[in-house]
Amino acid sequence: MRSALEQHGAAPEVSFERLLYLAGAGEMLERIRACEAEPCLLLVAHNPGAQELARGLAGSGDENAWHRLRGKYPTGGLATVVFDLDRWCDVAPAAGRLLRFVVPREL
C-alpha cells in the first residue's frame, strides 16, 4: 500500500481551518465534500466528532478494526477509511470501508 505522500507525488497542500477545531461529524463531512479531486485526504480532528465521522462513513471494513473503533477513540488514533469514488463531493454516510484503526500504543 502506498502512503498518502507517495500517492500525491509531491508535498501535499496543508490547510488549517479553525472552524473545524471542535466541529461535529456533520460539519467535517461537509468540509470533506468541498475538497477538490485529490487522491487522498487526511483530516486531523478532535473527539467526539472524529469518532462519529469515522463510524458514520465506514459502512464496512475490517471486523477487528470496527470492534475497536466502536470503543475508545484515543488521542492520536487514526481511522483509515477508503472510498470507491472519483470525487470527494460524493462521499456519503456508510460509503466507505474501514481499512484499519490504529491507536498510539500500537506504534
In this structure, is residue 6 part of a structural domain? Answer: no
Q: Which three cell numbers stand for residue 19?
A: 472552524
Into how many domains does the chain fold?
A: 1
**Element spanning 58, H or E:** strand 58-61
CATH code, domain carrying 72: 3.40.50.1240
Residue 5 has pLDDT above 70, yes or no: no
d(Cα 34, Cα 56) in Å, to the nearest integer? 18
**Residue 21 lies inside a defined structural domain of this protein:** yes
Q: Which residue has the cell 501535499?
A: 12
Q: Is residue 11 part of a domain?
A: no
Q: What is the pLDDT of residues 41-96, one digit of tens each?
A: 888 888 899 999 999 999 999 899 988 988 889 999 999 999 999 899 999 999 99
- Which residue would you say has higher pLDDT here, 6 or 75? 75
Strand pairing class (58-61; 96-102): parallel
Domain membership of residue 62 (yes or no) is yes
**33, part of any domain:** yes
Evaluate whether residue 9 is within a structural domain: no
12: pLDDT strictly greater than 60: yes
Q: Whole-prediction pTM value?
A: 0.82
Give the residue numbers spanning the domain of 62: 17-106
